[in-house]
Structures are given as C-alpha cells and as structure tokens.
Structure 1
C-alpha cells in the first residue's frame, strides 16, 4: 500500500511509514494512491459474512502484503472482538450502535486496530514510541485502553479542561502505566494544534519517535470503514439494499471513512453529516466558502470542532469538486435545546436512550427523510453509550440506563493529569522531559 500527501500527490510512502509519521512534513494528510474496489460478488453476498470476516477483507484490500495474511487475520480478530448491531426503531429508521467496545464509543474500532498495527510494526524497534493524541471526548478513552500496557509505547493525551464529561475524563486520566493525560486550559482545537505543532518541530522529531493516534492517522481511518460494510450486510440479510447513513460529525473522520467505503464499492444512496453549533462544514456546503471558526462548547462535546482536520480527505476523495461532494453529502446542524428535545422524543416515542451525538444524528436523519422521500432505510450512527453523558438526561431517565461492565470502576480511581496552558513550549518541555 502506497500513500501520498493531500498537499503533494507526488509524495509516495509505505503504509508503515504513514502509520508512524502520521502527518506528512507538508502538513497534509496521507491518502491511498489507489482506493481498492471490492469485488461485486463479495458485495452481493456480504450478508453471508461476519463482522470480523468483513473487516479482514476490507483491511486486506488496503494493506495487501504489508502485513502477511495470517498475521493480519490475528490482528483483526484481536482488535475487533465486539459487535456493532443495527436496531430498527421503525420500519424504515434504524440505529447502528457503535458503543459496544471497551471504551463505550465508536473510537474503539480505530484505536484498537491502530494500536495492534503499531505494535506489530514495532516488534523489532528499541526506541520508545511516543503516541500523541488530542481528544474532544471519546478518542482519549479509546486510545488509552487500546494502548494500555502495550510494550514499547507511551501515550500522551491532551484534552480541554472542563469540556469533556466526567466519565470521559475518568476513562483517559485514571490508568497510569504508559498512559499520561494533559488537561489543557483551552479548546479541542487548541489541543489539536499543539499535537500538530509537535510533529512539525524539528527538535522533537530528532529526539523522539513521535506518532499520532488521532483520526489524522490513516490506521485510524481504515478500520472505521468496517462498520459501514457490516451495517450494509445486516440490512441486506433483511432484504434491504437502499440506505442513507447519517453520521454525527466533529473532526469528520467518521463520515470520511464512510465515504471511503463508498468509493470502495459500498452501495450507499447518501451520507448526511449531523453537527452541533460547530457548523463549519454545513455552512461550506451551502455557501461554497470554507470558513473555520473557534469551536463552541455544546452538549455533544465530542463534536465541538471548529476546524475539522479530516475535511481535506473528503475533498481529496472527490478531487476538490464541491458539486460532487454536495451530490453525496448533505448536512444539518442543531443547538443544545434541539438536542435535548431529540433525546426526550427518542425516549418517549421509541423507549430508546441516546447520547447527545446520537440524538443529533437522529434529528438530521429525520430532516433528510422529510426533504427526500424514498424507499430506503435511514441508518443513523450511535457513537457513544449514553452512560458517558449523565448531565444530558433527567435523573429518572439516566437511572434507567444499563451501565456497561466496568463502567462503575472508573469512579473509584484517582485522576492523574497534568494541568497546562495553551503553550507549545510548555508542551514541548513536557515531552522532552
């Protein structure tokens, strides 16, 4: 597998190099030189395969011989060892639940796969691998659990002070061992900027073996395609082949992976991007002018991203053609009041308790359906377990949430985090120390 930078298509690096470098020196993002197309026969008979079998097929299409087939099979089966069921709320509306992994969020797909890939390629290395990650909520917990105890690695997680839920903070600050957390007095965008600065700092590049665990890393993006194919397989087993995916969108890696799956041959009618007040992309799709703005704190904190990194990948997939993107992607944005109303409606109408991000996705799916009637299944993604957002629910509703195994253990563990201002020199000194 060869990859290029979105800023320079003449650049060519191996999959292993892209995994560890994460970010090209020209500040672009890595993309495959060729997007593999899965065989029509496989797509036509996809309902016969398990999630793990589908994941292996998709991973092999990208990675090829960079990881031998037997090793890749073992890696996939170890990383993707949980389910992602599609559940119908009505005859034409379904939810794809992606929170059944160890951190109760969809990020487990990417973080666990990436940590195994890095561990595989690092077997012969002697230098410590320094993994940097910025999180707006769920990424940190998934990466922490994905890398916890992995030999030869040390993870540093940056998160915005006061802008993640208590459960999310506990998941990324209570592990110790090879996991470190920095509580940044700023926004997610500030955290992300610090990570990007670190990769472009010459001294850090010389002294440390740096890599990223954010969705800017191609090894995070590839496994997120798995569940789109798996959702299609579940629907096809029920005789449904027309579908629209609605995706809660913050840094746009999740919907980017869906569009990558579409380019690989996954039959999808449309993708709908659902955002909160951080609506850079919805505004762009209407105006044609891409104008990032500082992120705003909302109830759906994992989507509080003012300048989505992965949007350049989506533009690259469509050769910078805005009309083509508009033909495949619609977008809607909602405020906190609308989010709370959606949570309430989902509970009262369907007895379904959804996290704020999931509720926003449901709102957007219903808005799109109202504007575009058709005989398709509307599948919205549930990206996190509702237990991670206790402040989003009335006490009587939250009391009805069944906590995942191990969720209560975090409350008894001590927070371990370093407080830091938005100061690159302080961050650099921390890393070098």
Structure 2
C-alpha cells in the first residue's frame, strides 16, 4: 500500500513513513492512500453481523499490506480493542453507535490505541525518542495520552485550550505523568492546532527532534476510525428488516463534526464498500464546512466556544483530505449538512431523552437533533422549495441523492455517540434535570493532582519550551 500527499500527488511513501512523520514536512500536506482498497466480498455479504475485531482486522490488512505480518497485526488488533462499539436501537429507524466504551470514554480511543501500537511497532530499534505533538479540543488528548502512556521510546505533549473544555476533560488531560504531559494554552483549539502544525514545518526543530502527530492529521489515527463505520453499517444492514420492516434501507450516518477527521473516516469506509448511502455532517455554531458545502467557498474562521466543545473548530484540517477524495459536486450528492446553536444542543439532549429514554452527550445531541429534524419535516421543506436560510440553525440548503428515501420512509439513521454523557454532566443535567451515571474509570481520576503546564499562545515561546524540555 502506497501513500501520497494532499498537496503533491506525485509523492509516494510507505505506511511507516506516513505514520512516523504524521504529515509531509516538505509541503505541510496530509497523507492519504494512493488508492482506496475495496472490502472483501465475503465480509460485505455475510448474513449476520461480523464481530468488531474481525472487521478491524480485515480493514487493517488492506492498509498495512506487507508492512506488518498478519500474525503481528492480529496481536495489535486484539491488544487495541478489549472493548466493543455497540449499535443500540433507540427508536424504529434510529440507532446509536456507542463509541465511548474505551478507557477514556470517547471515540478517539479507537484511533489512538491503534495508532500508538502501530507507532511502537515501527519505532522498534530506533535510538532517538519519537515525540508526539497533539492539539485537542476535548477528547483527543486524553485518548492519545492513555494510549501512549508507558510506551517505551515515545513521549507525548498535548496542547489544549485552557478553560475551553469540560472540567472532567481537563482533569483527564492534566493528570498524566511519565512520558505524557499537557500544556494549557491561552487560546482556542485552532491556536493549539496552529502551534502544532507550525512545529511540524519548522526545519530547525525537526532536525533536532523526531516529531509526529496524533491528531487526525496522522493517517494511522484516521484509518482505524473506518473500522466502526463498516462494523455499524453491516450490523444495521443485517438487523434492519427485523427492527423496522424496511427492506434494503438507505443507511444514513449522522456524524457530529468538528475537525472532520471522523467524517473523513466514514467517507473512506463508504469508498471501501461499506453499505452506507450517505452522511449528515452535524455541527455546532462552528459551521465552516456546512457553509462551504452550500457556497463552494472554504472560509476558515476563529472558533466559537459552545456546549459541544470538542467540535469547536473553525479551521478543520481534514477539509484538505475531504477535497482530495471528492470534488465539491460529488460531496454534495453524498452529504447533507446541519448546524445548531447551544439552545439546539440542549433541545437535542432533552428531546432524545423524552422521546426514547436515551441519555445522549452534547455532541451526539447535535447529531440526534439533525436526524430528528430531517425526518420530521426539514428535508420535505427543502425538497418542496422552501429551504432553510443557511445563516439560521437547521438543515443547510443542499439536497443529497438520498433525500427522497427520507420522504418515502425508506431510510434508517446511525447517530454517532462520540463521548460518554458523564463527561458533560452539567450540560446534561441542565437538559434533563439529573446527571448521568459516571463510569468508574472516570470517577477514579477526580482526586488525582493537576500537573498541566501553562503555555502562551505564541510559537516562539512554544518552540523554546520544546527545545528545553524534550530529549533529542
């Protein structure tokens, strides 16, 4: 399997180089496969839903090629995933894909654990340490820190926007020790991401240190997220007729979206042959991509703080990968987009709970609200010639090819629940009047001491700190 660069299609490199370098330091481009491989027909045509690990292994084989022997790859998959991704029906045409059963209670565990083990595998025998730099808007940092904690030869520096993530998320980040540390940056997630991306293109810094990324900038964190898209789509395909009496439904995946790495993984899964008809990109007030989908103009902007903070991204880096995989017109056929404000997020949590009994987190709530509104009249109004103004919360005025299946009641939705609601207990309590139960693995960190390091929003200061504190 060969990999190329979103900014220079002539680039050809192997998986090891793509994983360990994170992004192409010569161009600043992001790595993508030269071709998207197709899933094995036996996997796609099973009459029963395959196990998550079986799906993960079959997909990983396609991308690892000859770089990792199958026996080693099986061990990596088994070590990565002692947990599952349950597909939970909450009403006759809605499933929730629960992605919070990993150690840090967020979907980032699926990508971070695979990436950590892949990097450790490729880093064997190296004399110089590999330094991971990662910006987080919430859950990425804790998942990466957990995945790499104690991994020999690799250390991790996490940058997060001080005071702009939930208290529990900040607690998860600020309590790491050993080879993982967190920097509390005076700024936004976009500022954190800018500092990291600038470091990767800093020639002098890269000569001194071996640097890599653990954001969805890194292809080894992006590709394993396709595992759960394929798994969920095959599961729903096998069970849908029993659940809702719809034969061969259009399967629509509703993706809470911030940096758009998760959606990119879904698009890759669809290209591989997963039975996914289309997607809804569900965003908060940081609606850069919905605006681009409507206007064709990509205009990054400063991020806006919201209740769904992990999606507070005004300049999503994976837009670059999406446009390398699809033209704007192609994407408009596959993708609907929807955005809401904080009032809509609270409404989503309340509505989901009242109508289904399910307690959903603020990010999943944006997805639920998008799917509910699409089913309950928003798509009908759009197709009847009464589109919502894109400046107002709601479905943006783009009609995907699967829109008629909504009106014909031939579609089912899979809403991605990207984090455990207990990580946002105050917001959930505001919406439904009580806090959700807290998993033991979250509760145990509450009494740990904070060890985060204050960092100015300034690249020179950041660079000097790296040079002083990292080992060459």
Aligned counterparts of 2:449 and 2:47: Cα–Cα separation in 1: 45
Aligned counterparts of 1:48 and 1:262: Cα–Cα separation in 2: 17
Matched, 1:161 2:162: yes
Matched, 1:420 2:455: yes
Aligned counterparts of 2:364 and 2:433: Cα–Cα separation in 1: 15
How far residue 237 of structure 1 moved from its aligned partner, in angstroms, is 2.8
- Deviations along 1:76-120, one digit per CA (max 9) or x if unpaired, are 111122111111111111111100100000000000000000011
**What's the counterpart of residue 328 of structure 2?**
322
Aligned counterparts of 1:245 and 1:399: Cα–Cα separation in 2: 29
**What's the counterpart of residue 5 of structure 1?**
5
Structure 1, unaligned runs of 5 or more: none
Distance verdict in 2 for CA 1:187–1:396, change over 3 Å: closer
**Residue 340 of structure 1 aligns to a residue in which SS?**
helix
Aligned counterparts of 2:40 and 2:181: Cα–Cα separation in 1: 43
Aligned counterparts of 1:27 and 1:257: Cα–Cα separation in 2: 20
Aligned counterparts of 2:38 and 2:301: Cα–Cα separation in 1: 36
How far residue 42 of structure 1 moved from its aligned partner, in angstroms, is 2.0
Runs of 4+ in 1 over 6 A off after TM superposition: none
**What's the counterpart of residue 394 of structure 1?**
429
Q: Return the match for 1:376 from 401, 408, 411.
A: 411
**What's the counterpart of residue 308 of structure 1?**
316
**What's the counterpart of residue 152 of structure 2?**
151
How far residue 18 of structure 1 moved from its aligned partner, in angstroms, is 0.4
**What's the counterpart of residue 286 of structure 2?**
278
**Residue 163 of structure 2 aligns to a residue in which SS?**
coil
**Residue 411 of structure 1 aligns to a residue in which SS?**
coil
Q: CA contact under 8 A between 2:225 and 2:265: conserved in structure 1?
A: yes
Aligned counterparts of 2:429 and 2:152: Cα–Cα separation in 1: 43
Aligned counterparts of 1:396 and 1:287: Cα–Cα separation in 2: 34
Aligned counterparts of 2:218 and 2:433: Cα–Cα separation in 1: 35
**What's the counterpart of residue 244 of structure 1?**
252
Distance verdict in 2 for CA 1:411–1:46, change over 3 Å: farther
Q: CA contact under 8 A between 1:390 and 1:398: conserved in structure 2?
A: no
Distance verdict in 2 for CA 1:398–1:197, change over 3 Å: farther
- Deviations along 1:143-183, one digit per CA (max 9) or x if unpaired, are 01000111111100000011011111111110211111100
Q: CA contact under 8 A between 2:50 and 2:235: conserved in structure 1?
A: no
Aligned counterparts of 1:317 and 1:80: Cα–Cα separation in 2: 28
Aligned counterparts of 2:236 and 2:275: Cα–Cα separation in 1: 12
Distance verdict in 2 for CA 1:186–1:46, change over 3 Å: farther
Matched, 1:293 2:301: yes
Aligned counterparts of 2:73 and 2:424: Cα–Cα separation in 1: 35
Q: CA contact under 8 A between 2:49 and 2:235: conserved in structure 1?
A: no
Q: CA contact under 8 A between 1:387 and 1:398: conserved in structure 2?
A: no
Structure 2, unaligned runs of 5 or more: 242-247, 380-405
TM-score (norm 1): 0.97
**Residue 246 of structure 1 aligns to a residue in which SS?**
strand
**What's the counterpart of residue 40 of structure 1?**
41
Q: CA contact under 8 A between 2:136 and 2:192: conserved in structure 1?
A: yes
Aligned counterparts of 1:316 and 1:252: Cα–Cα separation in 2: 14
- Deviations along 1:265-311, one digit per CA (max 9) or x if unpaired, are 11211100000000001111111111111000000000000010001
Number of aligned residue pairs: 431
**Residue 212 of structure 2 aligns to a residue in which SS?**
strand
